[in-house]
Chain A
């Protein structure tokens, strides 16, 4: 259980912001650098979510403070610093819990829609 005032309110886990969810998802199958995360998030969301640098780094700063992500390694490419981020075990656990929660909600919605009106 991750103890954090952002992700938990009392005993229940509060819904995670979509940007945060997508950033963690982008890191789920391997480390990524900042620009890589933006590209992955755009890809995962079908081009709907285009993270800007200010939003991304504010989120990364918070996720690092909460120990949900960590720095994997650093590289210099074309004279620019690239820092690669990866999920920590706590981040992995939190993402899995949030994905299960969203999945259960979506399944309930689809079931009720089918029961109410049949498949369109």
Chain B
């Protein structure tokens, strides 16, 4: 195999990454351009050339372009996600400040107990005996 045949095979390996419709119509054309722009003594595909061909393949696989309605839908999805993130941040921040305010009021509570309070398993009362025994005292009688 001559050097130019080896180079051409290298180019074709990269062009194989392109969509089939493009290859059917333009493989010979783009290979012709690649061979014409190659250096006289070039033996293998350069790094920058490979990167450029791969980038081109990715761009073409993304299709001619998405319809406008679909693009709008995608954008709306992003807007929705950002809004949800904002709500989540607000909830976390207010939740944290509520918790720290409550911790100041009930310094004996452990983190686990606070977790239980937040989950609604424990009544939030100042009677520390009842809080330490989750089983209601009335049932002992």
Contact = CB atoms under 8 A, between A and B. Distances in A.
Nearest to B71: A5
A35 B65 contact: no
A82 interface: yes
A52 B60 contact: no
B33 A34 contact: yes
B30 A53 contact: yes
Interface stretch (A56-64, A88-96, A100-108, A109-117): A56-64
Category for how many chain A residues contact B? 10 to 19
A56 B52 CA distance: 10
Given A61-B60, A81-B28, A56 B65 contact: no
Contacts of B71: 5
B34 A53 contact: yes
Contacts of B68: 5
A90 B68 CA distance: 20
B59 A58 contact: yes
B53 interface: yes
A15 to B, nearest CB: 18
B53 A54 contact: yes
Interface residues of B, number: 26
A49 to B, nearest CB: 13
A89 B53 CA distance: 30
B32 A34 contact: yes
Given A54-B53, A58-B59, A58-B60, A34 B65 contact: no
Interface string A59-92: 0011001000000000000001111000000000
Interface of B: 22, 26, 28-37, 48-49, 52-57, 59-60, 64-65, 68, 71
30 contacts: A5-B71, A34-B30, A34-B32, A35-B32, A38-B37, A52-B37, A52-B52, A53-B30, A53-B33, A53-B34, A53-B52, A53-B56, A54-B49, A54-B53, A54-B57, A55-B52, A57-B22, A57-B26, A57-B30, A57-B33, A57-B60, A58-B55, A58-B56, A62-B65, A65-B65, A80-B31, A80-B32, A81-B28, A82-B29, A83-B29
